[in-house]
Every structure is written in C-alpha cells, then in structure tokens.
Structure 1
Amino acid sequence: MAESIGKQLPELLLRKLKKEQYVLFATVDQETGAPQVNAVSWVYAADEKTIRIAVGHRSRMIGNVKAQPHVTITMIGPETTHAITGRARVTHEPLEGVTIKLACIEVEVETVRDVMFYGAKIAQEPIYEKTYDKEAADKLDRQVMAALQEA
C-alpha cells in the first residue's frame, strides 16, 4: 500500500537526485492515452520541488508531456521504491551547452510516496554501465548534468 511521504522531495532523495540517477519516467502517451514508461539517467533535482530530466530532442516523451503534463518518476532505492508525481513541462529545446540535441523536461513535484510492497525492502539499488566509449560517455554526462543545473 502506498504511503504518502509529502509534497516535496525528502532530503535523502534530494541528495541522490543531485547526481546522475537511474529512474523510470512515466508519461501519458499522446496518441493512445496509455501509460508510457522510459528508463532515464540524466536527472537533476534543482530543489525539493523541481526535477529536471534531459531527453533526446526527438523523444516521444516531449510530445507526451506537451499533450498531458501529469507524470510519475519512479526511483528504486535506497531500501524502498518511491513514486514522485507531478506536472511536467518542456523548458528547453534544445538544451544549451551539450554537444548532442537534447530537450529539458522540468517536473514540479506534487506528491512523493513510498510504493514498496509490504514486508520487503530493496537490498541493492539498480546498477547500470554505459556500453559505449567510456571517455565520451563521461564527457557527455558532465555536459548534460551541468546544463541541467543551469536550465
């Protein structure tokens, strides 16, 4: 059963979302009205009420947010799973200071819930690795995170 934590990011989530973090970003599909979920890692919490996400400039997420601003960001760990709901808007097309074409989606946090099922906890947070040129990936990650901070 979901337990409401509040209307803003608690300190622990705020700290974790100040750096690159694996999350699931759910939007409402602009054509079908069905939920659409994407894994993203270029996420930055500007403050306890504002989360910015960088996505490819041709991403379906952009049109979805423009058509229907209600979104959910799901964060797995630490120890539990959080659902962060809010209203999103596209703030930068393109996102300045990045060598590839990206857009910035900004989410105004409305509710944070603990949605972990009863009697369990997350033993290990998701781990991922970039599968392309490590040096190029690190450079791009630094550019994107800096651009999200400035957006």
Structure 2
Amino acid sequence: MTLEVAAPLAGRVLALDDVPDPVFAGRFVGPGLAVDPDRAEGADVTAVAPVSGTVAKAHPHAFIVTTESGPAVLVHLGLDTVGLAGKGFDVHVREGDAVAAGDPVVTWNPAGIEEGGLSPVVPVIVLEGDEESLGLTSPGTHLAAGDVLLTCR
C-alpha cells in the first residue's frame, strides 16, 4: 500500500539537504522534503493536514498526524519558530482530533516569520520512515496545498 503525503501549503519543493537547519538537513528527525511557502502580499496561510489520521501533536509551530495504516507525518512551520511561543499562529485542531487530508490545522503568516528574521521553510517529515521507501517530488517543483508532495511505500 502506498501512502500519499500532500503538501500542507502552496510553495516550492526543497530537498532536505537545502533546508537551512542541521537537524532537518541531517535527517535526524526522519526523511522527507520541505516546502518554501508562497508569500504573496504577506497574506496569512492555512497549513492543512498532509494525510488523514489522528492529530498526535498540535503545537502552534508544528503538528504530527498519525495515519491508521502507516507512519506519522510531522509538519514544522518555519525554522526555530518554537521560540515564538505560539505568537502569530492560530491552531484549529487539538491532539486526538481526527483529520482528513486537506483539513485546516494551523493558520500563520510565512512573510511575517521571514520579516522577523526566521526562515518560513516548512519541513514535512515521515517519522520513523525509510528514505529508500519514499517517492519524492523533484526539488524546485511548485505545488498547491493538497498536491502530492511525496509517497511512502
């Protein structure tokens, strides 16, 4: 069975090697890709669930959705954003909530994050995943929210 992991927001695909954070680039959390989010006119953006499942963690800056038949997927909204202590993030779910792929999870402002001196890049990580089992979208590809970002076999 193949699990499709959707882009949680619109933007340009980045390889983890190009994420300016050694934890994600070094795959210490797991394999995956990242999305450099669109920042048109500084508008708020709502990150959506990349897979259907249960919200295992719901922090303002990051969330994890555990799938019924496969791995958990981490979405980290920007780099070093934990230090914002939730400022600028509006969380729409709670831990334990069931979500369908595409359901709204967190609204935030990538342009505002960048203006504050932080990177708005969004790593999407398959926790406890095996990089060889992933089918990755080519870096540089522009995706809409909900488009397939990667597959996991």
TM above 0.5, yes or no, is: no
TM-score band by shorter chain is 0.3 to 0.5
- The normalised TM-score by structure 2 is 0.32
Which protein, 1 or 2, shows the higher relative CO under an 8 Å CA cutoff with sep ≥ 6?
Answer: 2
Larger proportion of helix: 1
Alignment TM-score, normalising by the size of structure 1: 0.32
